[in-house]
Every structure is written in structure tokens, then in C-alpha cells.
Homo-oligomer: A and B are copies of this chain.
Amino acid sequence: MHIDELDTPVPVVDLDIVEHNLAKMQAYCDAHGLALRPHIKTHKIPSFAHRQVELGAKGITCQKLGEAEVMIDAGLDDILISYPLVGATKADRLAALSRRAKLRVGVDSKLAVETVAAAARASNVPIGILVEFDSGNARTGVTSVDEALALAIQIEKTPGLRFDGLMTYPSTDATAAFVAEARQRFAQAGIEIAVVSGGGTPSAWHAHQIAGLTEVRVGTYIYQDRATVAAGAAELDECALHVHATVISRPTPDRAVIDAGSKSLSSDRVDPAAGTGYGLIRGYEDAVIERLNEEHGVIDVSRCSKKPEIGERIRILPNHVCVVSNLHDEVALMRDGILVDTRRVEARGKTR
């Protein structure tokens, strides 16, 4: 079946581009002696995670326990949960998983360390820990080497926990400075930093320039999107996922309406420097998806020399592909325009 026969709106993944993107990132990491630990939050599909490992990834990264549960059920066995887990319920779930796979968890507080410690006690399986530090993003992560060292000491003293190193997101110039100071201070304290894990597709190709980094966590690179293209991390023809939609109304000469709205494309914007609107329409680059309602996309076609007609199918490159993938139960897989398979987005909606 040609993919143009699929009902719309539908996310369509080009498998040749996926394969190119996975191989290219693995080759980059191999060339620079960096471990690649792909983040599955973008695709949320076990078969893609297996392919990443097959190509050389050291293991995978999950943000939430629910994602890790899906991946472990599917046979993935080496997982970093790059997210602070806090509380008894999380400890119980982590304990159950620690019996089934090699786990490592990112923490940035005493309470998160205690949560992982409770899990390790319950399962009687040691769990590795990375201490998260802030490289300027002002999200999670400790903001000083003093705090990182205090947590590392707490971890080293706690039975069942293993201090494995540091992590941050995203990798920036500030990362190297923090790591340099940490290596010196931790060495004085007799604590080894085996792993320094950095993240983010937009800056991924600069990872080898960040002194001290040992591991790269990237998610978006499998599909790429308008934001990573804008960041210079991908070319347009390296974008693997497009949402195919249909023009369902042309109420005025300058307006087209499509059957994809915020429930198909999300409301995520891109930096104004990267472009306007809620996605880039391939072949109609002068069109602007200027407004999304839940199931409608309202497009200004006034600047288009040729304008899309009612009934016509269009292909949209999402602004931010990770949240788009998370809106759909399954993706269509194609090669050369022919549908070859579909995949359930199995970890979709696993926010806990």
C-alpha cells in the first residue's frame, strides 16, 4: 500500500532515514570513544530500542519508570532512569525492576537517594546512581560541586547503592568546567567518577569537545525535527517522522484548514529564529500553520504561489517530534513511499 492511501492524520516514519540517523550517531560516538545511551522518550518503541543496542548502544535511557517497565518487558536489560525518583511508590516499582534489569538512576537530592536506597534494600540488588548537576538549564540538578560531593558521600555510605558518576542535561560549555572541578574534588575524597553522562540532540555533535564526558544520552536524533534542524544538528532530509494530513476546508482564498490540530501536532512552538507556526509543511514552505485547535490546523497560504487544494494531502515536519510521537497510538513505517509495517508506540503516555 502506498502511504498516501492511509487515512489521516497519521505519523509516518521513514525507516531508511531512521537507520541512517541511528548509524550516524553510533559512528560519531564510536569515533570519539563516547558511550551512546539513547533516550527512548522520543520513539517509545521497543523494536527501535533493540536496534539502537544492536548497532552498539551501551544500553538505553528512560525518563519514567513506566517507560522502563515497557522496555524491560520487551527484553531491554540495561537502563538508566535519568530522572529523580521520590517516594515509597516509586521505590517499590524500582525494586521490582531492579530484579529484572541492570539499573542506574539519576538523583539530585537526599530524598531521591533515600528512595533508591529503599528500592535496593527491598530487592537486595545493588543499584547504580549518577548525581545530576545543572549545566545552566535551571531545571533539576545540583548547582555546586559541594552538593554533588555530599550526595556522593551519602551514596557511598549507603548499603546497596553504588556511586557511578555524574549526569547533566543538556551538555553545555558549563559542563566541562563543573566536571573538571568535580574530578579534582572527588579524587581528593577518594571517590571515583566512572561515568559522566551528558544529553541532548541539539548539541550532540559537540559532545567530543566537552572535556570529561564519557556518555551521550540523545533521543530526538532517531527522528529529528524542526527544532533540531534549526539547531544545526540535522538536515531537513534527515527528518524521519512527518505527520500526514488532509486539507479539509478552504473557506477563503488565503486560508486552508487541515485535519491535524494540537491533538496530532501538539502546541509546542520553536524558537522564532527557527520559523513560525506549528510545523513545516514540506513542499509548501511559505505556508504558515498559524493556529491549532484540538483537531483543526489553520494555515495561512497567502504567501504560497501554488496553494494546497481541498482534499490534498500534505506532509508536516513537527516542531518537536517527541511530544508528537506521544500523541499517537501507533506510527506507520515506510520505505520509498510504501507502507511496510506499523508499530505501537508502546511506552506512549507512560508519564509515571
Contact = CB atoms under 8 A, between A and B. Distances in A.
A208 interface: no
Chain A interface residue bracket vs B: 35 or more
A63 B260 CA distance: 12
Given A138-B255, A263-B323, A352-B9, A295 B83 contact: yes
A249 to B, nearest CB: 4
A16 interface: no
A64 B351 contact: no
A71 to B, nearest CB: 15
B90 A7 contact: yes
Contacts of A269: 267
Contacts of A298: 138-139
A181 interface: no
A109 B293 contact: no
Nearest to A352: B7
Nearest to A293: B139
- Copy tally for this chain in the complex stands at 2
A60 to B, nearest CB: 16
A352 B323 CA distance: 18
Interface in A281-332: 291, 293-296, 298, 310-311, 322-323, 326-329
Contacts of A294: 41, 63, 322-323, 326
Interface string A263-281: 1101111000000000000
Contacts of A10: 352
Contacts of A108: 249, 251
A112 interface: yes
A90 B351 CA distance: 33
Contact of A109 (B7, B250, B260): B250
Contacts of A89: 5, 7
A222 interface: no
Nearest to A330: B349
A328 B311 contact: no
Given A248-B140, A255-B138, A9 B267 contact: no
Contacts of A90: 7
A224 to B, nearest CB: 16
A310 B142 CA distance: 14
A87 interface: yes
A177 interface: no
A298 B298 CA distance: 30
A84 B139 contact: no
B251 A134 contact: yes
Nearest to A319: B267
Interface string A76-92: 00000001111101100
Interface string A135-155: 000111111000000000000
A256 to B, nearest CB: 10
B134 A8 contact: no
Nearest to A265: B351
A351 B295 contact: yes
18 contacts: A7-B352, A63-B294, A86-B247, A87-B311, A111-B311, A112-B248, A134-B251, A138-B251, A139-B257, A139-B293, A140-B249, A140-B251, A141-B249, A260-B351, A263-B323, A267-B269, A294-B326, A295-B351
